[in-house]
Structure 1
């Protein structure tokens, strides 16, 4: 399982980066994951260009010489985006012309050694093409003239960029599924200093057979294959945050990029939460990333040995976390101490059960019989007098379990009824600890009879 390539859009403030980001993410019908703090923070979207997938990063404006606190923070964010990106779109403003700040950003990009696509925005037609010649003073062989607002020149830019992206892969459909690997891939995710490395070390201290850590496909990830109780696993952990002195206050935001990288390559994510701090906004953001990507998640409340406890302590923690993660109330929770090893080995019993549910398949006959019962007891209101709304149902994927409901008019199924169906399938077939996906499709003509 490979992670998406990261494509960062960088440039000065107000050159149109967010406009380009929105156009590209809308073109791919991506769900944009917003990190609060629009001017300073990065936004992320999983996108594709004719089947070639990538993760797009929008950044705050970059002012190389500014000493204002806000702009310094934006500069640090842009440094992070450049460091993490595989490809960079450097966006400039045609109406402003080539500025000293543009030249400084170009120098930094050359020093970073990244593949960069230089684009001049706000070229809205032939009358603006005269903006371009001065930008060739940057010494680059190609400048793309585009209008992010009107969509001009975007296809040419993205066609060339897509040549650097992995080839398109066929999406699993009915009867098809990605071949299961020999190892269960587990990612350790969470904000900095919650004990990810301590948990990794404690887990590996209990292993029966261990291979040497080998560099993963992401620059900062370490893949560690090991065996526990006869089952093969692959642990994916962030090796550490490079150049900590430079990112300073943005340490928390950096963890979002790391979570994105590891989530692309895992099946089950162990989301660590600091028991002393309780669940935070950053924990919620990272959990949201895992949910959007359809990953199975186990909530690991670490540093439990440091908490003074009474008979209601566990209940209070569970309620607080579930209240903050209502969208993930199915995720199992365990309280551990990575330092002392308390309950660490019990994580693997949860992993086994979660993986069983995450990869389970339900036969089409059994599925349709149960759905018929469910719908008969509680039909959607608009179909109450029309009979069964669904032509048939089939499971089209695992990891996560995904079900296609074929119906005459998919748009008529309300999201609240979709929630009802998800909960009903969860209870009926034992998908109690994993995410479930439902898609509504227009029934085929040959099934209309």
Structure 2
């Protein structure tokens, strides 16, 4: 299910991050405890009533000067306009309406995207309401008063946001064709891989003034089957704020990963695997997507009989949190092994959708428990009663035990490894939920 994307836009110090954190709660984690995966909160999953969406904070670095600030705001607005289904425009009741608010409101209004105008720092509704009404002058609809720090008015605001989720946002579900996101740092050869697969020399970008749609979908046919490739390369902005670009490319990656079934992480063979690669892989891992690591520019590497082995080990080391990822060494330049990519994608899709009979799962679990006794604590031993698969994409299992607190992460990992030994599940993560059940049942 691809979730709608809601972007937060606003000037510095209007309380974007406070609002972001209030909505995200403390539930945000990007693959904890793995060096190289940052905790920079850019996106979070939010559930309101029965609606789930991904919230993106376009904030980033706050430039010093006034003129820079406006171009920065413009950039934030562009990012929001191009990636989001709904935009939350945050203003500050205490600073009142300022010039920059009008300019950004103009851009947002022209985009035709749904906008929810949020007036923050309204700690006292009676006192501040006259000042809230002033924001009607922006011409983007009703202002919604909230206080992010006191968590006031958030419910009404979210009700407004979810009104704009259209069934079409979910319509991609109807399209049965596999979606493949090609992700990775700039200049690792994402577009050249797609071009080679399409057999043309370019990814077609529509040159309409003002549009910078960054994910370009391309349909590729292979052995009579159609695949949709989501290319996140898009257009490089000429831009001085480089750290911002890095942050924004992560935002684009999140949106592409969100829509994909399988993620192909392209890394540059000559450069090896970097921290940014690990960050991108972490997003796909956290989202339970199928994962293939494509090492590109393999033709440019001096080789001996140990080269592949060395490279594989290095990558596995940095991406230790996803040992299941499939790996392939390719060259977009020469086309080497690119046809193998489709076979791998097919295999990963099948693994993502694999269902295992409950009886078989329980046999594996019983055998695993016999081979390695479950942990015990203060004389109480963990008992595993029953395991069943409850979902696919990614394959998701529930294990019923006598005491959840005894089920250590390492024992869950042990059961996972036993299931993988039997069924492979290459290229896909597996999710496990532990439920408690009384002995008598």
TM-score computed with the length of structure 2 as normaliser: 0.84
Distance, in Å, in 2 between the alignment partners of 1:168 and 1:380 is: 47
Aligned to 1:56: 55
Question: Counterparts in 2 of 1:8-407, with a 5 A limit?
Answer: 8-26=7-25, 29=27, 31=29, 43-60=42-59, 66=65, 76-125=75-124, 126-166=126-166, 183-205=177-199, 220-228=215-223, 232-238=225-231, 241-242=234-235, 244-245=237-238, 249=242, 250-382=244-376, 389-407=383-401
- Equivalenced residues, count: 425
Q: Distance in 2 between matches of 1:108 and 1:292?
A: 33
CA shift digits 1:378-433 (9 cap, x unpaired): 23322796666122110111221111011233344222222222222222332344
Per-residue deviation at 1:317? 1.6
Segment of structure 1 superposing worse, 86-95 or 126-135: 126-135
Alpha carbons of structure 1 residues 139 and 33: separation in structure 2 relative to 1, 3 Å: farther
Could you tell me which residue of structure 1 aligns to residue 210 of structure 2? none
Q: 1:25·1:32 contact (CA, 8 Å) conserved in 2?
A: no
- Check 1:234–1:283 CA distance in 2 against 1; reply closer, same or farther (3 A cut): same
- Counterpart CA distance in 2 for 1:145 and 1:364 is 51
Give me the CA root mean square deviation: 3.5
After superposing the two structures, state which structure 1 stretch, 246-255 or 285-294, moved more: 246-255
Query: For 1:107 and 1:65, how far apart are their aligned partners in 2?
Result: 23
Cα distance between partner residues in 2 of 1:282 and 1:115: 32
Whole-Å separation in 1 of the counterparts to 2:100 and 2:175: 48
Q: 1:110 is paired with a residue of what secondary structure? A: helix
| Alignment partner, residue 174 of structure 1 | none
After TM superposition, give the deviation of residue 154 of structure 1 in Å.
0.8
Say if 1:398 and 1:30 are closer, same or farther in 2 by CA, change over 3 A.
Answer: same
- What SS does the aligned partner of 2:59 have? coil
Contact 1:188 1:271 in 2 (8 A): yes
The Cα offsets for residues 160-182 of structure 1, whole Å up to 9 and x where unpaired, read as 11011145999xxxxxxx99975
Deviates more, 1:141-150 or 1:131-140: 131-140
Please say if residues 382 and 403 of structure 2, whose CA atoms lie closer than 8 Å, have aligned partners that are also in contact.
Answer: no
Assess, with a 3 A threshold, how the Cα gap between structure 1 residues 324 and 180 changes in structure 2: closer, same or farther: farther
Shift in alpha-carbon separation, 1:402–1:63, aligned structure 2, 3 A: closer
- Cα displacement string for residues 265-316 of structure 1 (whole angstroms, at most 9, x for unaligned residues): 3222211111122222221121111101101111100011112223332222
TM-aligned CA deviation for residue 16 of structure 1: 1.2
CA 1:188–1:108 in 2, change beyond 3 Å: closer, same or farther?
same
Residues 322-358 of structure 1: CA distance to partner in whole angstroms, max 9, x if unpaired? Answer: 1211111221211111111111112233233323322
Partner of 1:319: helix, strand, or coil? Answer: helix
Tell me how far 1:219 sits from its aligned partner.
Answer: 7.0
Unaligned runs of 5+ in 2: 207-212
Flag the 1:382–1:131 CA change in 2: closer, same or farther, 3 A.
Answer: farther
Query: Equivalent residue for 1:175?
Result: none
SS, match of residue 245 in structure 1: coil
Give the 3 Å change call, closer, same or farther, for CA 33–245 of structure 1 in structure 2.
farther
Change in 2 beyond 3 A, CA 1:205/1:104: closer
C-alpha distance in 1, partners of 2:425/2:93?
A: 54
Mapped partners of 1:307, 1:117: distance in 2: 51
